Amino acid sequence: MDEYIDILDSSGKPTGETALKSVAHQKGLFHPTIHVWFYTKNGKLLIQKRAFTKDTFPGLWDVSVAGHIGAGEEIVQSAIREVKEEIGLNIEETNLTKIGVYKNIHKHKDNLTDCEFNHIFIAELKTPLQKLKIQESEVEEIKLISLAKYKKYLLDSEACKAYVKQEDSYYTLLFGSIEKQL
């Protein structure tokens, strides 16, 4: 879905401009996004397989919930909205713990470059997996995977082809933050 998003400079500060998401991707303009990683107290992560119709990373396993922050939208409100849209879960601001902001540039093809500042949150998943309702236009499937298995897959050159891969520093922040909660 195309929507208006706020444009950022290369250090993550708002420029005061907005653009359609498609234009920001076409021109490689920086913009804010959210990543919400759900974990269980027994050391598992909720991951989603991206819909095969997605422009970026179709059919790959990825963060529990991710999305673009709408123009003028508050970051936390965007996270709450995206969680509701993608997995049908109602959460509140108090459920989210922000662990950082990560600058990410990925050129998918000549006319599609993601230049994002990912606002990363973690949250404990207290709802059974079978009670979640996926947004089929965005999400193909969801599952729980142990932190240990996820880490192992990311290090395996063959297995990691099924996953959206972030920089090592992103995972160091993520795994360290979740392990402190267990």
What CATH number is given to the structural domain containing 160?
3.90.79.10
Q: Considering its fold, how many domains does the chain have in total?
A: 1
The boundaries of the domain holding residue 62 are 4-181
Q: pLDDT band for 1, please (50, 70, 90 cuts).
A: confident
Which residue type occupies 97? T
Pairing assessment for the beta strands 97-109 and 112-124 based on DSSP bridges = antiparallel
Q: pLDDT band for 2, please (50, 70, 90 cuts).
A: confident
What letters, b where the CB count within 10 A reaches 16 and e where it falls short, cover 7-42?
Answer: bbeeeeeeeeebbebeebbeeebbbbbbbbbbbbee
Mean pLDDT, to the nearest integer, of 134-146? Answer: 96
pLDDT tens digits for range 28-56: 999 999 999 999 999 999 999 999 999 89
